[in-house]
Amino acid sequence: MIQLAPQMRILVAVEPADFRRGIDGLAKLAREELAQDPFSGRLFVFRNRRGTAVKILVYDGQGFWLCQKRLSQGRFPFWPSGKTVRGLEAHELQVLLSGGDFEAAQGAPPWRRLGPG
């Protein structure tokens, strides 16, 4: 099972991917186009050309997980732009997958001192 944790390293492909690709095709895309190791345990997020579906690829140490979310109506209105790949925090990915503006999401810092110190 995949659980989003704050410690996860999440990479989002900015350019659309061909969704006819399966695990091997997306792993090759991560390796060649994004210059990342698909066996690293990072979570790779891809979207289709129309912006109506998302695929997530992750290696858990035993094998690959490939998850897909297709919207019943509409498109993902917010998607990263810029370079070929963009890093996200876990809470930003949750907002992105629910169709919200991940850049406006305010989360707690990944590390902070607790209590007097």
> Which of these, 77, 107, 96, lies nearest to 10 by C-alpha position?
96
In a domain, 32, yes or no: yes
Q: What's the pLDDT tens digit per position in 21-54?
A: 999 999 999 999 999 999 999 999 999 999 999 9
Give the domain range for residue 28.
Answer: 10-88
- Residue 23 contacts residue 46 (beta carbons within 8 Å): no
pLDDT for res 3: 74
Q: Is residue 67 part of a domain?
A: yes
Split into its structural domains, the chain has a count of: 1
Q: Is residue 81 part of a domain?
A: yes
Query: Does residue 110 belong to any structural domain of this protein?
Result: no
- Count of beta carbons in the 10 Å neighbourhood of residue 61: 6
Q: What pTM did the predictor assign? A: 0.86
Q: Does 95 map to a domain?
A: no
Instruction: Flag whether 37 is in a domain.
Output: yes
DSSP 8-class letter at 32: H
- CA dihedral defined by 87, 91, 97, 101, rounded to 10 degrees? -80
The reply to whether 106 falls in a domain is no
Inside any domain, residue 3: no
pLDDT at 55 over 90: yes
